[in-house]
Chains A and B, each alone.
Chain A
Amino acid sequence: MKAMDKLKLIIKREYLAKVRNRSFIVMTILSPILIVGMIALIVFLTKVNADEKKIIAVLDDSEHFHNVFKTTDAQSYVVFKDLGLQEAKDSVVSIGYYGLLHFPSGDDLNSIAANSAFYSNKAPGIGILSDMESTIENRLREEKLKGYGLNSRDLEDIGRNFEIRTESFTGERNLKGVNEIKAIIGGSFGYLIMMFIIIYGAFVMRSVIEEKTSRIIEVIISSVKPFQLMLGKILGTAMAGVTQFVIWIISAGVLSLILFSVMGIDMDAFNSTANLPPETMDAMAEITDSQDKLQPYIQELGKLPIITLLVSFVIYFILGYLIYSSIYAAIGAAVDNETDTQQFMLPVIMPLVLAIYVGFFSVFENPHGPIAVGFSLFPLTSPIVMLMRLPSGIGADGVPLWQFITSILLLIGTFICIVWLASKIYRVGILMYGKKPSYKELYKWLKY
């Protein structure tokens, strides 16, 4: 029988053993339900919260403030006229309004503002307070500037935001925050790789330990080479993992579609303007303005090197997973039970965690700086860090081609070395029982 056929048999067994495992099935089914359920719950709660619009009565004896309060999503203002303070309080309570904002009579805006008060049953939320406060502040500032002789056009002019224009040397317009968005896209690829390695690497390890403790290992390796068994195990587990991920993604997608349509959340709501009350032309202008701002970002995302990104994701994913899972397999072979694995786990988890931290703290800030370059070349971190850099493409503005190639070559070289070392440890380890091995012991095994 050819070695390939045996490998296929092993992969099939490992795959079936994994996907038929009860806890695996439970995890596969429950995870999307849990995650989508959580999201739905959060959305639901925010919606309930938002639906409860707070109505605030404004009693302005001074007549200077009553028309500055604008209704927003969270609260609306009702102006009371010709009422005494006590009457106003009583009616607010009887109608069930959220609270009463009172301005005493007077001519000096500053003293009016200083003597204003907000009455409510409950302590008011910070959002409402700050909204009222900033409205009053604006009114005061406007009044002062008017006192300096500025007209309303000047005021508008002052209010305009300033934003620095950034441009790359080749003349392309750089957008603020676009690096972060790119890094987040790359980062989620990297994070996916890390999660996959940690979850399914541990599965490989447990499966090796199981073969050792059930004592079937020697029966198997009298039929196949230990390396074949290790490789079959790694590949079979990876296929089970990919199956699980695909099921997760599909079912999470379907579930969220169902849930959102049931809950009546319009998926377009986030982009459409229909749900914003077009009260003033100002507001409309603002919306079109923000859409204008968004446009270049969408364009920029459209310019992402999707193919480069996907191809390198596959490359880094496969190589990274193979390197780490063979280390996991060697650890599983070296020990007799899972508790003994602790001492070997730290050096495995460390580079992964380091890669994620370096990614989030350094690569986001400076995707092509020395730290980012170093960690995207170092083979144990490159699958994660390089993917965070890659959304800016390969070439002049992105990752230099030599770095990309070097990183992959280093990864392949490391892959060969690690798999070779791991299979040596594995070969010896699976037949060793009873003693808890030290690093020194493992080193000795390499020479057997």
Chain B
Amino acid sequence: MNNLLEAKNVVKRFGDFTALNDVSVNVPKGSIFGLLGPNGAGKTTLIRIINQITYPDSGSVLFNGEPLQAKHIAMIGYLPEERGLYKSMKVGEQALYLAQLKGLSRSEARKRLKYWFERLEIGDWWGKKVQELSKGMAQKIQFVVTVLHQPELLIFDEPFSGFDPINANLIKDEILELKNQGATVIFSTHRMESVEELCDHIALIHKSKKILHGKLNDIKRNYKNNTYEVGLESENKIRLRQELEQKFNVADAHFKTVGDELKLRIQLENSDNANDLLGYLSDKAVVSHFVEVIPDANDIFIQTVKKNESHG
């Protein structure tokens, strides 16, 4: 029983439109799980099903091995993409209200809020009305309210949109800290690069279908194709390039260096070995740069979508 959450063959239709088409995902306990896909792919619908805001037409969702039910609401913390606060309500009162809705007692909620407000250095906002706060300030409060009841599962839908870089970093650190304390996190975003450093598992959703699913590292390993970026310092770059083109599959590469060496992207046959390439290159020129090309989430996504579309 390693999965905190399992969605099995979830289908959700809105009229003629199918928002989720037979989607299954497993979210391992203690992982940071990236739910990726472009806008409108169905991510938010899946998240709303997990939060029991809507219900699937068919398929099931298991939380800790049990079918999703009312008691699980208190075990989930959800920061929606469309998030806000009551404008004319005071910050403290509002946070207390939202925490109590999640099942905390008033006194417990007050204690924890005090801790978090001090931790994020927002203690003096307690008596302010939300309309007096900036957008970034309001988002800190939303974050606190999301994690306050110490849920087993945290769901963030586009968490960093609207945050300035400092606050985004702060929140990122807090999320990692929560993970260390044992929470499981689901991230939903269409900005693939923002999850690269956080997520260890991902699922790609495209046009209502899950097209990829697994450990980020495994996926990357599967998607790398023995390609290397090299920087070569040589007297005669044109000649060198011609020589290499006869022997390997060569393309231009773009990466930043301080010199003006020849920058190439070389793809080897599957059987070939990186050491052989490095040995060959160092005979011909001074190797200033040698890196295996690991596809990022964005590349993987684009490749996968293309592959899916060509397969029909």
Contacts and interface: CB of A to CB of B under 8 A. Distances in A.
Contacts of A220: 98, 101
A216 B85 contact: yes
A25 B84 CA distance: 26
Given A17-B88, A216-B85, A218-B83, A447 B97 contact: no
B193 to A, nearest CB: 26
Interface string A11-50: 0010001000100000000000000000000000000000
A107 B90 CA distance: 91
A361 B85 CA distance: 49
Interface string A216-244: 11111111101000000000000000000
A139 B80 CA distance: 90
A123 interface: no
A219 B78 contact: yes
Interface residues of A, number: 27
A168 B42 CA distance: 72
Contact of A17 (B78, B82, B86): B86
B53 interface: yes
Interface in A407-447: 431, 433, 444, 447
Contacts of B78: 218-219, 222
Contacts, number: 67
A159 B103 CA distance: 82
B76 to A, nearest CB: 7
A193 B14 CA distance: 38
The 10 A-B residue pairs with the shortest CB-CB distance, nearest first, are A215-B84, A223-B101, A218-B80, A1-B103, A214-B84, A222-B78, A222-B51, A216-B84, A215-B82, A444-B15
Contacts of A210: 86-87
A13 B89 CA distance: 10
Given A1-B103, A9-B100, A223-B101, A214 B51 contact: no
A223 B15 contact: no
Contact of A223 (B73, B82, B85): B73
Interface in B125-149: 142, 145
A444 B15 CA distance: 7
A6 interface: yes
Interface residues of B, number: 30
Nearest to B103: A1
B68 to A, nearest CB: 13
A221 B98 CA distance: 11
Given A21-B88, A214-B87, 9 more contacts: A17-B86, A216-B85, A216-B86, A220-B101, A222-B52, A222-B80, A431-B48, A433-B82, A448-B15
B201 interface: no
Nearest to A213: B84
B305 interface: no
Interface string A189-228: 0000000000000000000001100111111111110100
Contacts of A226: 53
B101 A224 contact: yes
B74 interface: yes
A1 B54 CA distance: 20
B15 A9 contact: no
Contacts of A21: 88
Contacts of A217: 82
B102 interface: yes
A218 B101 contact: no
Interface of B: 14-15, 48, 51-54, 70, 73-74, 76, 78-80, 82-89, 97-98, 100-103, 142, 145
Interface of A: 1, 3, 6, 9-10, 13, 17, 21, 210-211, 214-224, 226, 431, 433, 444, 447-448
Given A214-B85, A433-B82, A448-B14, A219 B97 contact: no
A288 to B, nearest CB: 62
A3 B52 CA distance: 15
A6 B101 contact: yes
A9 B101 contact: yes
A17 B51 contact: no
Contacts of A17: 86, 88-89
Nearest to B98: A219
A227 to B, nearest CB: 12
A219 B83 contact: yes
A219 B145 contact: yes
Nearest to A1: B103
Contacts of B80: 215, 218-219, 222
Give the most central of A221, A222, A447: most B CB within 10 Å: A222
29 contacts: A9-B100, A13-B97, A17-B89, A210-B87, A211-B86, A214-B87, A215-B80, A215-B82, A215-B84, A216-B84, A216-B85, A217-B82, A218-B78, A219-B78, A219-B79, A219-B80, A219-B142, A219-B145, A220-B101, A222-B52, A222-B78, A222-B80, A223-B73, A223-B98, A223-B101, A223-B102, A433-B82, A447-B15, A448-B14
Contacts of B54: 448
Contacts of A211: 86
Contacts of B84: 214-216, 219
A83 B54 CA distance: 99
Nearest to B13: A448
A223 B98 CA distance: 8
A219 B101 CA distance: 10
Contacts of B86: 17, 210-211, 214, 216
Nearest to B78: A222
B70 to A, nearest CB: 8
Nearest to B53: A221
A22 to B, nearest CB: 9
Give the most central of B73, B101, B103, B142: most A CB within 10 Å: B101
B97 A9 contact: yes
A1 B103 CA distance: 5
Contacts of A221: 53
Contacts of B79: 219
A141 B83 CA distance: 87
A214 B54 CA distance: 21
Contacts of B103: 1
Contacts of A1: 74, 103
B112 to A, nearest CB: 16
